[in-house]
Amino acid sequence: MVNEQTTAPMNEQAMQPPEHFQVNEEYAAYDPIGVVSLEKAANLISSAIIFARDHNIKLLLVDARQLTGFPSPSLPDRYFIAREWALAGKNQVSVAVVLQRYMIDPERFGVQVAINMGMRANVFDSRPEALTWLLRPR
């Protein structure tokens, strides 16, 4: 996927948290908002995962329910997005993603791809459920 952020040098971008990124005591939360393409949505979340990794934040809750403008991802889209996120995390960030129910694949294909690449990840349609999973001891 192409990085659509072009306004600042990469090292400067890495120092600033993404908009709507908040660090809490036990975890960080990222709540992106906007009407975007699927590619842009995936890139926004990748940036948050990279920021978390680069700042030694081990637990990241991503609530992407307010990202709109794209259909439910196809199976190949799910593969490439999950792969991108797993590579971004480098096995250092656990990620719980909250999505609208219709966006979640019943087979959790993307989750399985991420797990197979070494990432602790899961997807939910409820923020409290996602947070419970994220904070559960491994």
Residues 57-91 pLDDT 10s:
999 999 999 999 999 999 999 999 999 999 999 99
Q: Are 94 and 67 in contact (CB under 8 A)?
A: no
Fold adopted by 18-135: Transcription Regulator spoIIAA (3.30.750)
Please identify which residue in the block is written with the tokens 């719980």: 96
Give the model confidence (pLDDT) of 14-50 as tens digits. Answer: 578 999 999 999 999 999 999 999 999 999 999 999 9
pTM of this structure = 0.88
**Pick from 35, 84, 38, 42: which is nearest to 62 by CA?**
42
With residue 45 as reference, give the H or E element that holds it: helix 38-54
